[in-house]
Amino acid sequence: MRLEWARPGVVRATAHAYEFAAMVAAARLVAESASPEIPPEALEQLRQVLDEYDAQAERLREVPSPVDGG
């Protein structure tokens, strides 16, 4: 995995699909079974990030993969 600043406040991440999948799975686990100590605002932000991830993942499924010759 590689992280770099794209511009102030924006980080660009380059990761293998399995690395990203592990992070998303962990985020889903937290979002679905969060302990009461997690502030509701933080949980809502996490759910918004996961919703955006789901939308972008759906978009990506519609685009040919470079591995498939796209």
Is residue 54 exposed (0-12), middle (13-18) or buried (19+ Cβ within 10 Å)?
Answer: exposed
Give pLDDT, residue 8. Answer: 97
- And the tokens for 36? 């009461």
Q: What pLDDT score does 59 carry?
A: 94
* pTM for the whole structure: 0.78
At position 52, the amino acid (one-letter code) is E
Low-confidence ranges of the chain (pLDDT < 70): 68-70
